[in-house]
């Protein structure tokens, strides 16, 4: 069970909680499981809530504070707009009482190592800050977004002094009035920052660290900086955290990268964009026809494309340290002294959820205070009802809509920043809010979660029978063996990182396997998970393997991308194997792969939902939500 659930709720409140929420949860689960004994479940829920209430009551009284996560659905949030709102307005404004105003531009100068080329040794970071009008002598913490998009005409983004419509405007209007400053920062080689576009390399990292120090050292600053952003802007917080900078108190990475190679390669298998990511995708940033364009003659800018192609050909780093320089997580775990609020879409096909899972558990294991918010959205913020709906298809999150829309998210951010940047308010709940593919939200202490039972099905057995297709996987994307369970006698709940250990022979040293898991109701199936592996890396990780093809059998130790799944009773689970699939290139060492069923297993970690703490979220009443509830 999750510790400190229903913080400081007395026994009588727990009874009322069951009356309000236990039956609502039961009603939804009836649709999935059917035939449950209501009295037994309510009794179990009562016992769980009584225990957790007593535990949390002993831990301390939160009366008068903002409602905890599991009671926010009872609060009158704004739920009909295109994004979420805080519960209370702050009193501070910008110049002339404005709630939204232009930022003040600054350059931060720092020393660049000569070997970085380009503008070295004269690094210069461009940033803008928004500071509310506060009484003399009052200092404020800084919330900052670092990224490559400000002042970039090629992607039609505003100047750095203009609040970003995707995030900056919301923070300035809603959180800054509570006594915070906000900053937008251009990474090296973009906007008005000098040097070359380093694609998250050393020069960019040093620029991030210099800007954090500047923001935390100003006379108006209380010395604490928080970094937030999505995608590229969600990767820069990990870069900032590598240095152990005394000013960086918290980071909020939203679908960000823990490493560049980890984004584009999975066990040696390459995404389609991977070979061209450096120059082909971001190479034009910072090129605006002026004299500073010559600064793009940086070593990594030159070797980037070749490194990408080499990684596709051989699955790893052929020479040098290009990828090692761009791996952040190890240095974060070693050096960072702040907190992490990690946000990830479980259906994100741009930045896959393996960036967050099991990263969240590594943070816990290293003593870093962290929270996870993992919903069934795509490459999105957690509170955008119209965008979420547009990006959610069948088997791509729509089954969890509109419950995925978190209209309490800005309040969550406000409470997080208040505690970690101002040392005020209650400590946020530290654990993982995880949403299943059917829309249910629950609390877990870790993710992948504890207190699960491993189920192991052998390929071709009665539990996972051969259901068509040859036992060979040719070097194309369309054919291969298919396996399927009998109709489930009861609903199955599982999540985390399912494994597929498949024994194969190959015609030559090479080959690739793409595996898809589906939830099928007759002929209708929805995607629930996928995995991929270049067999030259069949042991997993980054070490290339050799074997005596075609005579030697090898075992591909595949791991699925993170998932959280409810499969209803009467449905089946289907496993399909092929050579490649969505988003991925064929192997550069393609060959025929023969699957040997004996000893090959699919392994999933199941749990009993009655041992978990489920909760409701504020109902989204945006027109798109209401139309598609």
Residue 29's Cβ-side half-sphere holds a number of Cα atoms within 13 Å equal to: 24
Fold matches, 100-326 and 453-606 = no
Q: Which residues have CB under 8 Å from 304's CB, separation 6+?
A: 199, 277, 278, 279, 322
Q: Is the pLDDT of residue 59 over 90?
A: no
| CA–CA gap between residue 324 and residue 242 (Å, rounded) | 13
Confidence of residue 58 (pLDDT cuts 50, 70, 90): very low
482 close to 466: Cβ distance less than 8 angstroms: yes
Closest C-alpha to 565, from 626, 616, 496? 496
Indicate the pLDDT class of residue 283, thresholds 50, 70 and 90. low
Residue pLDDT, tens place only, 135-191: 999 999 999 999 999 987 666 677 999 999 999 999 999 999 999 999 999 999 999
- How far is residue 207's CA from residue 240's CA, in Å, rounded to a whole number? 9
3-state secondary structure of 499: strand
Q: Which two tokens stand for residue 450?
A: 């504890």
pLDDT in tens, 27-46: 333 233 333 333 333 333 43
Residue 563 CB partners (closer than 8 Å, separation 6+): 346, 437, 495, 496, 498, 517, 528, 529
**Residue of higher predicted confidence among 552 and 541:** 552
DSSP label at residue 280: I
pLDDT attached to residue 389: 98
User: Where exactly are the structural domains of the chain?
Assistant: 1-64, 100-326, 453-606
CATH number for the domain formed by residue range(s) 100-326 = 3.40.50
Tell me, what DSSP letter sits at residue 243?
T
Q: Rounded to 5, what percent of the chain is helix, strand, coil?
A: 30, 25, 45
Q: Do residues 615 and 70 lie in contact, with contact meaning Cβ atoms separated by under 8 Å?
A: yes
Whether 51 and 4 have beta carbons less than 8 Å apart is answered as no
Q: What's the CA gap between 614 and 302, in Å, rounded?
A: 51
Mean pLDDT throughout 356-372?
98
**Predicted pLDDT of residue 277:** 66
pLDDT confidence band for 9 (50 / 70 / 90): very low
Predicted pLDDT at 350: 92
With tokens 């993982």, the residue in question is 432
Distance CA 160, CA 150 (A): 5
Q: Which two tokens stand for residue 522?
A: 């007759």
d(CA 21, CA 492): 22
| pLDDT given at position 558 | 97
- Which CATH number is 453-606's, of 2.60.120.260, 2.30.130.60, 3.40.190.10, 2.30.140.10? 2.60.120.260
Indicate the Cα dihedral angle 94, 96, 97, 99, nearest 10°.
-50
Biggest distance spanned by C-alpha atoms of the chain: 79
């Amino acid at each position: 069970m999750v510790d400190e659930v229903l913080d400081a709720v007395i026994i009588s409140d727990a009874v009322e909680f069951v009356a309000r929420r236990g039956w609502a949860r039961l009603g939804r689960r009836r649709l999935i499981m059917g035939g449950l004994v209501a009295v037994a479940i309510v009794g179990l829920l009562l016992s769980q809530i009584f225990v957790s209430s007593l535990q949390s009551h002993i831990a301390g009284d939160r009366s008068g504070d903002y409602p905890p996560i599991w009671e926010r659905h009872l609060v009158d949030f704004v739920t009909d707009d295109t994004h979420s709102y805080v519960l209370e307005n702050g009193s501070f404004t910008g110049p002339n009482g404005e709630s939204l105003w232009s930022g003040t531009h600054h350059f931060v100068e720092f020393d660049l190592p000569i070997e970085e080329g380009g503008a070295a040794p004269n690094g210069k970071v461009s940033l803008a800050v928004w500071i509310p009008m506060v009484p003399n002598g009052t200092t404020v913490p800084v919330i900052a977004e670092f990224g490559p998009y400000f002042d970039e005409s090629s992607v039609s983004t505003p100047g750095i002094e203009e609040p970003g419509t995707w995030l900056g405007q919301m923070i300035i209007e809603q959180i800054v009035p509570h006594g915070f400053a906000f900053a937008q920062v251009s990474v090296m080689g973009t906007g008005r920052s000098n040097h070359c576009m380093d694609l998250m390399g050393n020069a960019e990292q040093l620029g991030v660290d210099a800007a954090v120090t500047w923001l935390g050292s100003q006379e108006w600053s209380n010395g604490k900086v928080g970094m937030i952003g999505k995608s590229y802007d969600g990767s820069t917080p990990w870069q900032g955290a590598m240095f152990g900078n005394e000013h960086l108190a918290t980071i909020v990475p939203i679908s960000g990268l823990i490493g560049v190679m980890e984004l584009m390669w999975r066990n040696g298998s390459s995404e389609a964009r991977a070979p061209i990511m450096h120059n082909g995708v971001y190479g034009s940033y910072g090129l605006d026809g002026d004299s500073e364009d010559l600064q793009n003659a940086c070593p990594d800018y030159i070797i980037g494309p070749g490194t990408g192609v080499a990684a596709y050909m051989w699955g790893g780093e052929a020479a040098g340290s290009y990828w090692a320089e761009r791996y952040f997580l190890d240095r974060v775990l070693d050096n960072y002294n702040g907190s992490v609020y990690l946000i990830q879409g479980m259906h994100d096909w741009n930045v896959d959820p393996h960036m967050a899972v099991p990263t969240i558990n590594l943070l816990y294991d290293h003593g870093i205070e962290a929270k996870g918010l993992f919903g069934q959205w795509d490459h999105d913020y957690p509170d955008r009802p119209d965008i979420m709906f547009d990006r959610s298809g069948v088997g791509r999150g729509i089954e969890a809509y509109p419950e995925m829309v978190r209209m309490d998210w800005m309040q969550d951010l406000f409470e997080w920043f208040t505690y970690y940047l101002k040392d005020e308010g209650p400590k946020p709940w530290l654990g993982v809010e995880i949403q299943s593919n059917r829309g249910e939200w629950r609390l877990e202490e870790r993710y992948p979660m504890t207190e699960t039972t491993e189920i192991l099905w052998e390929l071709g057995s009665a539990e996972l029978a051969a259901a068509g297709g040859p036992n060979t996987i040719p070097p194309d994307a369309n054919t291969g063996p298919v396996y399927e369970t009998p109709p489930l006698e009861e609903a199955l709940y599982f999540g985390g990182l399912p494994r597929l250990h498949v024994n194969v022979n190959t015609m030559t040293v090479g080959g690739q396997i793409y595996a898809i898991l589906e939830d099928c109701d007759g002929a209708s199936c929805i995607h629930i998970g996928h995995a991929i592996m270049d067999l030259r890396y069949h042991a997993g990780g980054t070490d290339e393997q050799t074997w005596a093809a075609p005579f030697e059998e090898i075992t591909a130790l595949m791991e699925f991308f993170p998932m959280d799944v409810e499969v209803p009773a009467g449905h089946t689970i289907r496993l399909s194997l092929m050579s490649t699939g969505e988003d991925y290139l064929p192997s550069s060492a393609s060959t025929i792969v023969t699957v040997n069923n004996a000893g090959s297993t699919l392994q999933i970690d199941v749990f009993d939902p009655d041992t978990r703490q489920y909760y409701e979220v504020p109902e989204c009443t945006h027109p798109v939500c209401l139309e598609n509830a």
